[in-house]
Homo-oligomer: A and B are copies of this chain.
Amino acid sequence: MSLNELDENQLEIVQKLRKRVIEVIGRNMDLYGISHSTGHLYGLLFFADHPMTLDDMGREMAMSKTSMSTGVRNLLDLHMVNKVWEKGSRKDLYEVEYDWYQTFTDFFVIKWRKAVESNLLILRKSVKEIDKLIADEQQSPIRDVLIRDKEKMQESIKYYIWLDRLIDTMEDGTIFDLVPREE
């Protein structure tokens, strides 16, 4: 069941297979705003047959425990790994979230939602201020500029409202009704 039952030759075969997959998956994790090495750490955890401690990871990655700590925190923030409790162990244990559908939707709920909200906030605030300015300036070249800016912002607001609804479908899981898991 575990890797240490394997002889040297077999171990090499398994690790070669894994390494190639980890490499590709880790590289593409920049889409999640995750560094290459943290992506690599994720790949390591993906194939681990047990939850791992920071020391385990440091050993396998040949990196400092500090780096493992920050790497794991980033992955935790994105709900890509979970902290696991295991009686007997004083150390914190981590394992990947194997439900990648969940990982994907969580990413939107966590990261994109925040961006949408802050953008909507500033856009709405700016539109209001422009309205006030336009009311004062009845006849002036600035009026046209302000109106043009306002129109652009209102278009953006529409888009963000749509994006917000898309994120809603991720959050409540209805995206899987719209685009079913199995075809």
Query: What residues on B are CB-neighbors of A178 within 8 Å?
Result: 169, 178-179
Contact between B6 and A145, CB atoms less than 8 A apart: yes
Q: Can you list 12 pairs linking A and B with CB atoms under 8 Å apart?
A: A1-B145, A13-B133, A17-B130, A21-B126, A25-B119, A25-B122, A98-B155, A101-B162, A104-B163, A158-B181, A162-B179, A165-B183
Query: What residues on B are CB-neighbors of A85 within 8 Å?
Result: none
Given A46-B152, A162-B179, list of 20 further CB < 8 A pairs? A3-B145, A6-B142, A10-B140, A14-B142, A14-B145, A14-B146, A14-B149, A17-B129, A17-B130, A18-B149, A21-B123, A24-B119, A31-B112, A47-B152, A98-B152, A98-B155, A100-B155, A162-B181, A165-B179, A178-B179
Contact between A21 and B153, CB atoms less than 8 A apart: yes
Q: How large is the interface on A (under 10, 10 to 19, 20 to 34, 35 or more residues)?
A: 35 or more
Residue positions of A touching B, CB distance < 8 A: 1-3, 5-6, 10, 13-14, 17-18, 20-21, 24-25, 28, 30-31, 33, 46-47, 49, 98, 100-101, 104, 111-112, 115, 118-119, 122-123, 126, 129-130, 133, 140-142, 144-146, 148-149, 152-153, 155-156, 158-159, 161-163, 165-166, 169, 175, 178-179, 181, 183
